[in-house]
């Protein structure tokens, strides 16, 4: 818990005096990297934020998108990496809780959760398995109890996450536009803290997260209580319905310190609060402990004199503890008192706005070194390799995890987890498609192209459900930003995302940056995670199927881009080479052509090619729809490639389509008219997956055998500890 020498001097200069100990602690919490974004803020300004559907407001903690008919969708993403690496169950659970409250603070009901999880090599590392199992259980126990469905996500395993965990949670909310919290406050309004009692858990959590994970600091991890969160949700939504909330903010990193200073700063008011009034879990807590505790399930509300009794009554109905802790002032000061004694008095804009930094950036040495790798020899038995990749935990079904999540509650889940994007029905008759994607292996080799690839992959997934992307959120996760090489990878990723977002006119409606994701063994690979929301403005969603005799279209070109592929890394243990890159123009052409085909109703099924490449994409279709496929590899649009490269290259902008014979001509005509590279490369038939080249069989698998491996591999790995 500390400020740098320079920051201390700046603070002294700004407030014109020596800060006292409590003031220092308040500022240290708020000026931590976690709360202040002091390394990244200057750079984040380049992201496109505007869009016809985007609604922005003062102090909004989530992105808001107008989905028509008077409704809005809100979205936010957060991570809880450090806590999850120490205590995976509680860390992951409270990660869910935190992001849910961001959605709630907009006045919208949380309707879905997605999570992105990353761990070390679970095949060899029992600690990684322990982290994985408990993080999944933490998410399940929390989300299930709240009755918010966990509808999707992704899971990646890589040695760079050894002794560590990335737990990203995205939440989606839905509500009426006119019920969005306006976030305003007037002099003499009341400041109320509602929800769980403030205790000694999570003390210094934000600073803990702003440092390299070196020691296990369990007291910095928060304790989850989903039941109280559920009560808070219902109480707040009722208070919203009764217009009791003028402004609202959730308590997250930095606890009360950050919530108070950020709210006051965003609303251009002052707040006076009495820590003695805060309801506490244990006696004898010092004012500074109360101010920086990160106890969970707490919300800060501002209401006026007239509505205060109504709000109290609602809290009492739901038996949600609350305390009226302060008043709004017009002096823009944050004044902390113990009863009548003032113990801290700081200008909110000073507390809420840490001095921003200019970090140095330089291209890492390793990137140049790993560009060139010696190609592996083509394995003799590609069927065996294919089966091995299907079993690879990065590729295999994650049903072991999502089978523990209630993904049906709320009765909105039209397309369930386990396919491309998940689709939810909205009350205005439209459908929302959601997906998050990341790929640390690609991003390590090329942070810019890797990040763009994640963005495109999330879009591809959403488009495959027949939805048009309307907004994105990003979570940029890197090591120590003080290292210029790491900071360079951050900036590269950000620039790539910005370019893609601008080209496709997909606004960034929210995001987070998480630095210091390091252990004693070093930093994680750059891991930006991208969430994309898509909207389906039709009466019925795209229900996919594959019928015997359907033809397989492969859209997009397969290139010599095996760097970072599962084939290189998992099979050959090669880290390096050229990773897939997105050509923006081709990306758009292919994406819009695909969407047109789906919207015309000419496709029975659409799937994107990503991790594992074309071969895995085709196997996934065959496994899910329990049908065989014979693929003529010569028909696949590609540069000159070896068989293994065609099968496993992870080039972007590629899609697989299953089309009934009667629609083939329509699809061909459209793809020709749009100048899309495609191949009519196979037929769904029988019970085997067969890849042929020059009329010779290159790989041949039984669907049931492939299914068995793919479906059960992860579950079997974690079954016995």
Partner 1 sequence: MKVGVVVFPGSNCDRDMQHVLSDVFKLKTEMLWHEEEIPKNFDAIILPGGFSYGDRLRAGVIAAHSPAISGIKKMAEKGMPILGVCNGFQILVEAGLLPGALLKNTSLSFMCKWTEIIVKNNKTPFTNKLKINQRIPIPIANGEGRYYADKETLRTLKKNKQIVFTYCQEINGSSLNIAGICNKEGNVVGMMPHPERAAEPVINPIDAKPASMIFQSLLKSLGVAQ
Q: How far is the CB of 142 from partner 1 (least distance, A)?
A: 11
Beta bridge partners of 271: 328, 334
Residues 6+ apart with CB under 8 A from 585: none
Q: How far is the CB of 148 from partner 1 (least distance, A)?
A: 8
CA dist 355 and 60 (Å) reads 22
Residues 6+ apart with CB under 8 A from 531: 75, 77, 114, 170, 434, 435, 436, 458, 472, 473, 474, 475
Asked if 721 touches partner 1 (CB under 8 A), the answer is no
Tokens 């957060």, residue located: 78
Q: Which of residues 78-117 bind partner 1 (CB under 8 A)?
A: none
Only one of the segments 400-408, 478-486, 496-504, 672-680 lies at the binding site for partner 1 (rule: CB under 8 A); that segment is: 400-408
Q: How far is the CB of 715 from partner 1 (least distance, A)?
A: 10
List the catalytic residue out of 43, 76, 80, 572. 80
Binding mask 135-154 for partner 1 (x = CB under 8 A): --x--xx--xxxx-------
- Total of residues contacting partner 1 (CB under 8 A): 33
Only one of the segments 121-129, 266-274, 285-293, 314-322 lies at the binding site for partner 1 (rule: CB under 8 A); that segment is: 314-322
Asked if 230 touches partner 1 (CB under 8 A), the answer is yes
List the catalytic residue out of 34, 43, 76, 572. 34
DSSP tag of 613 = H
Sign of the Cα pseudo-torsion (498, 499, 504, 505, in order): positive
Only one of the segments 6-14, 27-35, 226-234, 276-284 lies at the binding site for partner 1 (rule: CB under 8 A); that segment is: 226-234
Asked if 218 touches partner 1 (CB under 8 A), the answer is no
Other C-beta atoms within 10 Å of 250: how many? 25
Asked if 626 touches partner 1 (CB under 8 A), the answer is no
Only one of the segments 358-366, 407-415, 480-488, 617-625 lies at the binding site for partner 1 (rule: CB under 8 A); that segment is: 407-415
Binding mask 682-701 for partner 1 (x = CB under 8 A): --------------------
- Active site (annotated) includes residue 76: no
Instruction: Pick the closer one to partner 1 by CB: 317 or 384.
Output: 317
CA dist 499 and 47 (Å) reads 8
CA dist 200 and 222 (Å) reads 9
Instruction: Pick the closer one to partner 1 by CB: 230 or 512.
Output: 230
Kindly state the tokens that stand for 360. 């140095």
Residues 6+ apart with CB under 8 A from 189: 246, 302, 303, 304, 305, 327, 328
Q: How far is the CB of 152 from partner 1 (least distance, A)?
A: 13
Residues 6+ apart with CB under 8 A from 321: 194, 195, 196, 197, 279, 315
* Cβ-contact 249, 193 below 8 angstroms: no
Asked if 403 touches partner 1 (CB under 8 A), the answer is yes
Asked if 130 touches partner 1 (CB under 8 A), the answer is no
For 429, left (φ over 0), alpha (ψ -120 to 50), or beta? left
Q: Which of residues 529-558 bind partner 1 (CB under 8 A)?
A: 540-541
CA dist 356 and 478 (Å) reads 18
Only one of the segments 168-176, 298-306, 311-319, 388-396 lies at the binding site for partner 1 (rule: CB under 8 A); that segment is: 311-319
Q: Is 670 exposed, middle or buried (0-12, 13-18, 19+ CB in 10 A)?
A: middle
Which of 73, 209, 231, 509: binder of partner 1 (CB under 8 A)? Answer: 231
Instruction: Pick the closer one to partner 1 by CB: 540 or 675.
Output: 540
Which of 54, 373, 409, 584: binder of partner 1 (CB under 8 A)? Answer: 409
CA dist 37 and 172 (Å) reads 23
Q: How far is the CB of 347 from partner 1 (least distance, A)?
A: 41
Q: Which of residues 317-336 bind partner 1 (CB under 8 A)?
A: 317-319
Instruction: Pick the closer one to partner 1 by CB: 233 or 462.
Output: 233
CA dist 357 and 185 (Å) reads 31
Only one of the segments 227-235, 595-603, 634-642, 648-656 lies at the binding site for partner 1 (rule: CB under 8 A); that segment is: 227-235
Q: What distance lies between CA 605 and its chain's CA centroid?
A: 26
- Active site (annotated) includes residue 127: no
Binding mask 410-449 for partner 1 (x = CB under 8 A): xxxxx-x--------x------------------------
Q: How far is the CB of 316 from partner 1 (least distance, A)?
A: 11
What does the longest C-alpha to C-alpha distance in the chain come to? 88
Only one of the segments 69-77, 280-288, 402-410, 478-486 lies at the binding site for partner 1 (rule: CB under 8 A); that segment is: 402-410
Which of 119, 161, 190, 405: binder of partner 1 (CB under 8 A)? Answer: 405
Q: How far is the CB of 411 from partner 1 (least distance, A)?
A: 5
Beta bridge partners of 72: 66, 175
* Strand 688-693, strand 629-632: pairing: parallel
Candidates 125, 81, 709; CA nearest to 438 is 81
Q: How far is the CB of 147 from partner 1 (least distance, A)?
A: 2
* Strand 63-68, strand 518-519: pairing: unpaired
* Strand 54-55, strand 109-119: pairing: unpaired
Q: How far is the CB of 37 from partner 1 (least distance, A)?
A: 34
Q: How far is the CB of 658 from partner 1 (least distance, A)?
A: 17
Residues 6+ apart with CB under 8 A from 343: 20, 22, 275, 287, 336, 337
Q: Site residues (CB under 8 A) for partner 1?
A: 137, 140-141, 144-147, 225-228, 230-231, 317-319, 402-414, 416, 425, 540-541
Q: Mind telling me the catalytic residues?
A: 34, 80
């Amino acid at each position: 818990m500390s400020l740098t020498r320079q920051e201390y001097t700046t603070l002294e200069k700004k407030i014109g005096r020596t800060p006292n100990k409590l003031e220092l602690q308040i500022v240290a919490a708020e000026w931590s990297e976690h709360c202040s974004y002091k390394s990244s803020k200057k750079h984040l300004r380049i992201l496109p934020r505007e869009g016809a559907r985007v609604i922005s407001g003062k102090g909004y903690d989530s992105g808001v998108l107008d989905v028509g008919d008077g409704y809005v969708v809100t979205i936010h993403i957060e991570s809880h990496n450090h806590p999850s690496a120490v205590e995976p169950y509680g860390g992951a659970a409270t990660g869910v809780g935190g992001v849910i409250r961001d959605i709630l603070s907009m006045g919208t009901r949380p309707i879905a959760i997605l999570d992105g999880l990353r761990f070390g090599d679970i095949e060899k590392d029992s600690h990684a398995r322990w982290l994985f199992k408990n993080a999944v259980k933490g998410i399940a126990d929390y989300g299930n109890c709240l009755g918010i469905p966990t509808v999707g996500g992704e899971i990646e395993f890589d040695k760079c996450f050894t002794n560590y965990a990335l737990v990203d949670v995205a939440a989606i909310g839905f509500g009426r536009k006119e019920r969005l919290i306006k976030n305003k406050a007037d002099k003499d309004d009341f400041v109320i803290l509602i929800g769980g009692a403030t205790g000694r858990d999570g003390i210094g959590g934000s600073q803990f997260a702003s440092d390299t994970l070196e020691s296990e600091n369990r007291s910095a991890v928060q304790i989850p209580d989903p039941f109280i969160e559920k009560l808070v949700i219902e109480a707040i939504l009722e208070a919203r319905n009764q217009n009791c909330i003028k402004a609202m903010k959730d308590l997250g990193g930095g606890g009360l310190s950050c919530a108070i200073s950020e709210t006051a700063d965003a609303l251009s008011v002052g707040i006076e609060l009495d820590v003695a009034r805060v309801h506490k879990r244990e006696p004898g807590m010092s004012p500074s402990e109360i101010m920086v505790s990160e106890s969970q399930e707490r919300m800060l509300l501002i209401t006026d004199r007239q509505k205060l009794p109504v709000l109290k009554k609602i809290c009492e109905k739901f038996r949600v503890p609350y305390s009226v802790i302060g008043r709004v002032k017009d002096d823009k000061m944050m004044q902390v008192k113990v009863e009548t004694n003032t113990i801290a008095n700081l200008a909110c804009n000073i507390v809420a706005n840490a001095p921003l930094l200019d970090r140095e950036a330089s291209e890492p040495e390793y990137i140049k070194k790993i560009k060139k790798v010696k190609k592996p020899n083509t394995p003799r038995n590609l069927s065996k390799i294919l089966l091995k990749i299907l079993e690879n935990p990065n590729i295999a079904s994650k049903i072991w995890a999502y089978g523990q999540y209630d993904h049906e509650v709320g009765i909105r889940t039209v397309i369930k987890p386990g396919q491309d994007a998940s689709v939810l029905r909205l009350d205005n008759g439209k459908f929302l498609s959601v997906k998050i994607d990341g790929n640390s292996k690609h991003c390590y080799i090329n942070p810019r192209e890797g990040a763009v690839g994640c963005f495109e992959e999330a879009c591809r997934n959403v488009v495959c459900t027949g939805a048009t992307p309307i907004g994105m959120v990003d979570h940029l996760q890197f090591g120590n930003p003080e290292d210029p090489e790491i900071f360079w990878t951050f900036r590269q990723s950000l620039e790539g995302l910005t370019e893609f977002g601008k080209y496709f006119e997909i606004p960034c409606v929210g995001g987070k940056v998480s630095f210091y994701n390091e252990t004693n063994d070093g930093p994680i690979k750059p891991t930006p995670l991208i969430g994309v929301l898509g909207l389906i403005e039709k009466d019925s969603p795209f229900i996919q199927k594959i019928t015997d005799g359907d033809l397989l279209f492969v859209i997009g070109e397969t290139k010599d881009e095996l760097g970072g592929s599962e084939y290189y890394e998992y099979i050959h243990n090669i880290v390096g080479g050229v990773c897939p890159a997105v050509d923006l123009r081709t990306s758009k052409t292919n994406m819009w052509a695909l969407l047109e085909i789906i919207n015309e109703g000419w496709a029975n099924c659409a799937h994107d090619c990503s991790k594992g490449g074309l071969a895995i994409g085709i196997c996934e279709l065959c496994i899910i729809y329990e049908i065989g496929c014979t693929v003529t590899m010569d028909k696949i649009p590609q540069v000159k490639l070896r068989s293994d490269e065609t099968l496993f290259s992870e080039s972007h902008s590629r899609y697989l389509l299953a089309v009934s014979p009667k629609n083939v001509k329509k699809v061909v005509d459209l793809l020709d008219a749009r100048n899309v590279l495609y191949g009519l490369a196979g037929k769904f038939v029988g019970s085997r997956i067969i890849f042929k080249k020059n009329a010779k069989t290159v790989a041949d698998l039984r669907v049931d055998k492939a299914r068995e491996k793919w479906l059960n591999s992860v579950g079997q790995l974690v079954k016995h500890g």
